[in-house]
Each structure stands twice: as C-alpha cells, then as structure tokens.
Amino acid sequence: MPYKWPADTDFALWELDVIDRVCPACGRMMYICDHRYRRLHTLDGPVQLVCKLNHCPDRLCAGHARTKSPELEVTIAPPSWAIGWDVFCWIGHRRCSRHMSIPHIQSELQDDYAIKLSDDAIAKYIRRYQVMLAARQQDPEALRRQYESVSEIILSIDGLQPEKGHETLYVVRELTQKRVWFAEALISATAHEVQRLIAKAKDWATSLNKTVSLWISDKQDAFVTGIAAEFPDVPHRYCDNHFLRDLAKPVLEADSHAKVQMRRKVRGLRKIEQALLKQQNADVSTSLTDDPEATVTVLVGPANGPSLEADSANSVVLEYCAAVRGILNDDQGGPLHPPGLRMAEALKEVHESIQRNLDTKKGDSRKSTLAVWAGALTRDWNTSEPSKSPSESTSRTFTRWPQPLSLEGGDARIAKRSSKG
C-alpha cells in the first residue's frame, strides 16, 4: 500500500540496529550490508525508520545471501504497513469495542492525530484486526492460561439476528471471565443444531478441566432441551435481562397506550401559537398605523400600555405551549421509568399551574389573553384525568418544563400593573 506523504511532513528519525549479530549459519560477526527506509504513522506522529540490515561477510556462507532485519522493526509495525501497531490497535479497538463507523474512525484519526487514511485502507486494517482477534480468541493455550485460577464456570447461550431474515448468530459466552467462547451462524436453528453448540461448549469445558456450575439463557425450547441433554445435573437459570424484559412488556404496552390517550386530549398547540403570533404582528402594525379598527378584542386592557401587558401575557402562553410540547415529546425511559407516567405527572403540574393563574385573575372582569388562551389549552384536559394516576413518590426527571413559579410571578406582575391602570 503506497502511501503519499505531504512534502512538508516532519518525521521523527528512528534508527534500528540488529542486536544479535552472530551469523546463524557459521557464527561469524555479521556486517551492515544495506539500509531500509520506511515511513509510518504512529500515535506520537510520523516516523521515519532507518533499518540497518546485516549479513554474513563470508560469500560462501548461507548467511551471506540472507539479510537480517533489526529485531525491533516488527514490534513497531508489520512489513509494508503505513501505520504502526499502536495506530492499528487504536483503529481495531474503536471498531470492535466502541462500534464506531469507518467514517467516524477516519475523522477522529484525522482530528486527534493528523493521520490521514482512506476508508478502504481503514477497512483493510479492520479486517486484519478481526482475523488476529479471532485467532487469539481461539488459541487454546491462551484460553487455558486465562482459566488457570478459575474453579467453576458459568455458561450462557443466546441467539441474535443482526438483520431480519438473515441467519441467527448463536453465541456461547463464559460469564466469570466475561469471554465469548465461540459464535456460529445457524441457518436453521433446529434443536439438534443448538444441541451441537452446547455439546461443543461441553468439550471446551472438559478440555479446560472445569466444572460448569450454571447455565443462563432466555430459556427458549431448544436451549432447555439441549442443556438438559448435555448437562443433566447443571442448573439452568433465566437471564436477568430477558426476565425483566418479559415482565416489563405489559407495563410498557399499558404506558404507551396511556401516552396515546393523553396526546389525543392535549392538542391544538400550534393553532394557539399561530393565533398569538398573528395577533402580535397585528399589534405591531396597529401601533405603527394607529388604526383602532385593527385592535384585537381580547387585548382590551388599561389605556396606558395595553401592548406591553398583552406581550407579557402572550409570552407566558407561548411558554406554556413550549412546555406542553416538550412534555408530549418526551419519550425517554424504560419500564423502570415509564415515560407515560412522567407525562401524566407533568401535565397535571401544568394544569394546576394554569388553574392557579386563573384563580389569581378571579374578580378581574376584564378578559385577559392568558385566561382566554389558557382556557383553550386546558379545555379538553379538564374533562378527564389521565388513565394512570401519577404517583407522588415518582422522582421528577423532567427538566424542560419552565418553573411554574416564574410563570405565575410574571403573571402576578401583569395583574398588579392592570390594577394600577
């Protein structure tokens, strides 16, 4: 892979010598016969390697025709690579552990290390990384070393379908060392095929001479029968994650249904906002043209500065609209923090806040913008409560909702101003 270096690249110069200079054929001291120049990327910057090549000075010796490279060279980078091991491991780790896409890896390399690699070069390095990783994972000696100090092992099996309609990838993992033992894609996951995988896990455990103390799975039929057949005396437990997920399913369904119901009741935000904005524009043109005909009826207020009061009230209503929209769009949270429950709770807060505003306005016969629009906002909401009553003890996690206090404070100021007028 020829790599094009920019002309102004600043290379660090690393000179490498052969350390063991004894000719392997005749035992004479070898001489430097040539130099190999290499340029490569490291995480510390571009490097120029100067590798001093040695050979035996005796023309008749077999060691004369073969040159020896410095021992250190392959520990810096494999032959003819444009990157060192450190960059290679960095790429492989980002891909395999962090699941970063190739364009993402490419831009991070460029931004953080000023290393410019093409996407196909990165893809090629990733393939090599995967091959090395697989070889290491399958190395029986490395496996034996890892399990030397372990007395009992816990195995799990699960099938996952990376893409719908494709074959299922079955993975057998060992949980005490958090290690994937092996994975196989099965086109037809018959009970017989699955049992073959479980028998393979048994072979691994036997070769390691370890006792399997527990099996964990989602307990699909093929796993239950296969494990019972191959490991008759080993307990087989439900995986926590699957257990919780199965348990949570009806909860999430009910929660999602409640959300739909609430969204159906609280609607028309856009209409309210559009009307308010239209009215504000009308106000501006009114003050410019001073045309009494253009005054909007709901804006009847004290003679000194009706626009000011209306504007403040309008902005309060717009803030309410924004808050309610935020509440309706908040979909975060799993079965342990159902979003529907939070939505019901937040809507109730809005409802109460608006009610407090309306109560403050009581006795004031003048129609205010807030009262009109707040009525519109809560129109349907007042008629029924959410199907799930919000629990007071549930912790509040909703943050986009503006503090009711500040809204009421703003409204109180408006009220004060009106009474002066």
**Closest CB to Zn ion among residues 63, 339:** 63
Q: Toward Zn ion, which CB reaches closer, 25 or 100?
A: 25
Q: Which is nearer to Zn ion, 26 or 154 (CB)?
A: 26
Query: What letter represents residue 396's amino acid?
Result: R
Q: Among 3, 5, 26, 349, which residue interacts with Zn ion (rule: CB under 5 A)?
A: 26
x-or-dash string of contact with Zn ion, 148-187, rule CB under 5 A: ----------------------------------------
Report the residue number, 64 or 173, with the smaller CB distance to Zn ion. 64
Tell me the window of 20-28, 177-185, 189-197, 249-257 that interacts with Zn ion (CB under 5 A).
20-28
Note whether 63 and 31 are within 8 A (CB).
no
Q: Which long-range contacts (CB under 8 A, 24 or more apart) does 393-397 make?
A: 394/341, 394/342, 394/345, 396/342, 396/345, 397/333, 397/337, 397/342
Residues 6+ apart with CB under 8 A from 338: 251, 252, 255
Q: Which stretch binds Zn ion (CB under 5 A): 60-68, 90-98, 168-176, 392-400?
A: 60-68
Does 61 sit near Zn ion (CB under 5 A)?
yes
**Given strand 211-217, what is the order of strands in its sheet?**
179-186, 168-174, 152-160, 211-217, 236-238
Does 33 bind Zn ion (CB under 5 A)? Our answer is no
Question: What is the closest distance, in whole angstroms, from the C-beta atom of residue 26 to Zn ion in the complex?
Answer: 3
What minimum distance in Å lies between the beta carbon of 59 and Zn ion? 10
Q: How far is the CB of 167 from Zn ion (least distance, A)?
A: 56
**Is 56 a residue that touches Zn ion (CB under 5 A)?**
yes
Q: Which of residues 260-279 bind Zn ion (CB under 5 A)?
A: none
Closest by CA position to 118, among listed 95, 102, 96, 99: 102
Show the tokens assigned to 44.
Answer: 């510390």
Span of 53-61, 137-145, 214-222, 325-333 interacting with Zn ion by CB under 5 A? 53-61
Q: Where are the alpha helices (H) located in 114-165, listed in sequence order?
A: 119-137, 140-146
Should residue 350 be labelled a site residue for Zn ion when binding is judged by CB under 5 A?
no
CA end-to-end distance (rounded Å), the chain? 83
Alpha-carbon distance values, 297 to 3, 110, 197, 201, 310 (Å): 75, 62, 78, 80, 11
SS3 134: helix
Closest distance to Zn ion from the beta carbon of 34 (Å): 16
Toward Zn ion, which CB reaches closer, 30 or 105? 30
Applying CB under 5 A, does 23 fall inside the site for Zn ion?
yes
Contacting residues for 316 by C-beta, under 8 A, at least 6 apart: 370, 407, 410, 411, 414
Stretch that binds Zn ion, among 57-65, 139-147, 277-285, 363-371 (CB under 5 A): 57-65
Written as six digits, the tokens of 357 are: 């505003």
CB-nearer residue toward Zn ion: 23 or 227: 23
Interatomic CA distance for residues 109 and 365, integer angstroms: 68
- CB 92 to Zn ion: min, Å: 40
Applying CB under 5 A, the residues found at the interface with Zn ion are 23, 25-26, 28, 56, 58, 61, 63
